[in-house]
Amino acid sequence: GGAETLCRQTAGALADAGHSVRVHTTTARDYLTWSAHYPAGISTDGGVAVHRHAVSEADPGMASALVRRLALDAGDGDAEMAWARAQGPVAPGLVDAVRGMDAGALLVCWTYLYATTQLAMAAATGPAVLVPLAHNEAMLRFPITRGVMRRADGFAFMTPEEALLVDDLHGIGGRPFEIVGAGLAPARPSEGGTARAAFALPDRFALYLGRIDPAKGIDELLRAHAGYRARGGELGLVLSGRATVPMEFPDWVVTTGFVTEEQRASLIDAATCVLLPSRHESLSLVALEAWHQRTPTLANGHSEVLAGQTRRSGAGRIYLDEGEYARELAAIAGNPAEGQAMGMRGADFASDATWPACVARWERLLSTVAGEA
């Protein structure tokens, strides 16, 4: 997923800058069951040592039932811990490794939401930085989350909107934080022909890139695009990514499955616009990628992060309902000159998303936290 990709890229960038980086993670790949996929043990990824720990399989049904109870304030601390363990991933070896970290080492936990962070933050004996990757959802208000937030000695946020949300709900206080964001690799020459040779693409289309999952707003996107088509909209719809649950699609939808980096860049190049339908984001790497390649975006305005990124960049439009989706997409499709101008503004905005700049922000944060420990 996006969080895991960004974590890996950040670890690699810090290692390339000369820092000693060790990653503790699990053997899982599937975020619903956490079933073992990778072998346990130590491997290397570039200059990063990766320790994979065995994980207990989750209970998605119980986790779903408990989170509904807790969201209605119908649970207690025991129910919260049961939810955390049912959702997972629970990896005792990972928690033991955190507990036994060398003196002087800094712990950085990615995403507030999962048991790896909930248990590791509680086990940490030294300074700990939290990368919340927070968005406005019920779980962000749970008491167990308050405990994670209180334990953090510093915060790495992706966007100003995320920092404001966490501060409003939990209070950052005087603790150090940075809007670290993300870095992008230098743009490589790309042509839409590569994707067109691999997939049966419409002449003109809107593109969704990412996990094909109802949690990412795919169901709402399909309804909105059907409404756009009913109003005479000409753009096709292409969904590119791995489906996490079985889904059926109308015959006017093209699905590509998992794609290579070259195909991904080619799809962005060929698209009239890139769609960002999720209501829950802490940062959209897909938006930055699209703008990096001068492709405008259409984003769900119910996500304050997406709306904020779009307004700051001037590189896309936002929508709040199906009618606005149809109107805004038609406006992008019907005015190529405006789309080109938005794409140019996006490229200017994304030019600041470099790994050297991102590493410098991380170094500033980690030095401050270490100095205050």
The verdict on 97 and 77 lying in the same domain is yes
Instruction: Say how many C-beta atoms besides its own lie within 10 A of residue 53's C-beta.
Output: 20
Q: Domain span at residue 106?
A: 2-183+354-372
DSSP conformational letter for 243:
B
Instruction: Find the helix packing angle between 336-350 and 322-334, rounded to 10°.
Output: 100
The verdict on 127 and 74 lying in the same domain is yes
Which amino acid is residue 91, in one-letter code?
A: A
Strand partners of residue 129: 108, 154
61, 94, 355, 127: CA torsion to nearest 10? 110
Residues 6+ apart with CB under 8 A from 248: none
The verdict on 284 and 265 lying in the same domain is yes
Helix, strand or coil, per DSSP, at residue 37: coil
| Residue 201 domain flag | yes
The gap from C-alpha 51 to its chain's centroid, in whole angstroms, comes to 22
| Residue 326 domain flag | yes
The verdict on 206 and 173 lying in the same domain is no
The verdict on 276 and 341 lying in the same domain is yes
| Residue 188 domain flag | no
Report yes or no: 323 and 302 within 8 Å, Cβ to Cβ: no
The verdict on 117 and 224 lying in the same domain is no
Sign of the alpha-carbon torsion through 116, 122, 128, 133: positive
b vs e for 69-83, b when ≥16 Cβ sit within 10 Å of the residue's Cβ? ebeeeebeeebbbbb
How many structural domains comprise the chain?
2
**pLDDT tens digits along 35-63:** 999 999 999 999 999 999 999 888 888 88
What is the number of helices (H) and of strands (E) in the chain?
15, 13
Instruction: Say how many C-beta atoms besides its own lie within 10 A of residue 63's C-beta.
Output: 18
The span from the CA of 357 to the CA of 182, in Å, is: 9
The verdict on 50 and 162 lying in the same domain is yes
Report yes or no: 369 and 154 within 8 Å, Cβ to Cβ: yes
Strand order in the sheet with 41-45: 22-26, 48-53, 41-45
**Residue from 138, 102, 142, 101 nearest 118 by CA:** 142
Residues 6+ apart with CB under 8 A from 288: 182, 184, 350, 353
CA distances from 68 to 71, 151, 209, 248, 344 (A): 5, 26, 29, 27, 44
**Residue from 330, 325, 337 nearest 233 by CA:** 330
Q: Give the DSSP per-residue string, 328-354.
A: HHHHHHH-HHHHHHHHHHHHHHHTT--
The verdict on 108 and 203 lying in the same domain is no
Residues comprising the chain, all counted:
373
The verdict on 73 and 167 lying in the same domain is yes
Q: What is the CATH number of the domain that holds 333?
A: 3.40.50.2000
Enter the pTM of the model: 0.85
pLDDT of amino acid 158: 96
**Residue from 365, 299, 362, 367 nearest 7 by CA:** 362
Report yes or no: 135 and 162 within 8 Å, Cβ to Cβ: yes
What is the maximum alpha-carbon separation in the chain? 64
Which tokens belong to 110? 């990615």
What is the chain's pLDDT, residue by residue, as a tens digit (373 residues)?
788 989 999 999 999 999 999 999 999 988 888 899 999 999 999 999 999 999 988 888 888 899 888 887 767 778 888 998 899 999 999 999 999 999 889 999 999 999 999 999 999 999 999 999 999 998 999 999 999 999 999 999 999 999 999 999 999 999 999 999 999 987 666 666 789 889 999 999 999 999 998 889 999 999 999 999 999 999 999 999 988 888 889 999 999 999 998 999 999 999 999 999 999 888 889 999 999 999 999 999 999 999 999 999 999 999 999 999 999 999 999 999 999 999 999 999 999 899 999 999 999 999 999 987 6
Which tokens belong to 25? 């993670």
The verdict on 263 and 157 lying in the same domain is no
| Residue 129 domain flag | yes
The verdict on 253 and 175 lying in the same domain is no
| Residue 168 domain flag | yes
The verdict on 23 and 165 lying in the same domain is yes
Helix, strand or coil, per DSSP, at residue 257: strand
The span from the CA of 373 to the CA of 369, in Å, is: 6
Cβ-count burial of 246 within 10 angstroms (0-12 exposed, 13-18 middle, 19+ buried)?
exposed
